[in-house]
Amino acid sequence: MKGKLITFEGCEGSGKSTQLKLLAQKLDALGVDYIMTREPGGSAIAEQIRAIILDGKNTAMCDECEALLYAAARVQLLKEIIIPALESGKLVICDRYVDSSLAYQGIARGLGEDFVASINSAALGEYAPFMTVFLDISPEQAFSRKHGADRDDRMEQLGMAFHEKVYRGYLSLAEKYPRIRRVDCSGTKFETSDKIWKLFKESGAVAKDK
C-alpha cells in the first residue's frame, strides 16, 4: 500500500469538523495529494446505511444491528473509496473509523471489544490506521461548547452517562494502541490545529520540513 490512512476520533462536539477544515487548508496550501472522507458514510451506499443508523425514529434498533450496520458502512467505504485511494498513493483522512465502533458499540454499548473487532477485521488488520488522532476533551466540556445535543440524531440523544463511557473507552483504547495519539483540546482551535500538524510531521504523514 503506497498511501497512509489517518483517522480522527473524539466524542460528540470535540471539534473534529473544525480541525479537519483547518487541516485541509494546510494540506491544500502544500499541494498534498489527499482525500478526506467520513464515517458512517462517505460513499452513496454507506450514506444510505448512515441514514438508517442515525434516524431518530429507529428507536427499536438493537445494539448488535447498530454495530453490524456501522461495520457494513465501513467495509463499503473501505473497498469503494479508501483502498483505491491508498493504492494510488494518496493520503487518506477519515473522520471516525474503527475506534468509534470499539468505543461506542464495544465499550459504551457493552457489546465487548472482541465482538466489535471480529466484525471489523480488515479495519484492525491490513487496513488499520497508520495514525489515529484522538481529540481529547471530556463530553461535559464538549457539550457546553456546542450548547447541547441534536434532538434528531439517535446517537446524540443518548445521555451524558453514555458519552462519559465513550470518552473513558477512548482513553483505554489510547493506552492499548500506540497508533492512537491523544491531542489535548483545552486551548484555542488554532493551538489544537498546531498540535495536530506537529503529529503529522513527527509521524511522517507529511514531510518533516513542512
Binding positions for ligand TYD, rule: CB under 6 A: 12, 16, 39-40, 54, 70, 96, 100-101, 104-105, 155-156
Helix (H) or strand (E) holding 172: helix 160-176
CB of 201 to ligand TYD, least distance (A): 25
CB distance 85 to 35 below 8 Å? yes
* Nearest distance, CB of residue 193 and ligand TYD, angstroms: 17
Which class for 29: exposed (0-12), middle (13-18), buried (19 or more C-beta within 10 A)? exposed
Query: In whole angstroms, how close is the CB of 12 to ligand TYD at the nearest point?
Result: 5
Placement of cell 491508498 in the chain: 86
Is 79 or 198 the residue whose CB approaches ligand TYD more closely? Answer: 79
**Which CA distances in Å does 59 have to 46, 102, 145, 164?**
20, 21, 27, 21
Question: Which CB atom, from 75 or from 205, has the smaller least distance to ligand TYD?
Answer: 75
Q: How far is the CB of 108 from ligand TYD (least distance, A)?
A: 8
Q: φ and ψ at 47, to 5 degrees?
A: -70, -35
Of the pair 48, 88, the CB lying nearest ligand TYD is at 48
Cβ atoms 112, 106 nearer than 8 A: yes
Name the minimum Å distance from CB 31 to ligand TYD.
Answer: 28
Closer Cβ to ligand TYD, 39 or 113, answer by number: 39
For ligand TYD, give the closer residue by CB, 98 or 206.
98
Q: What is the CA radius of gyration of the chain?
A: 16
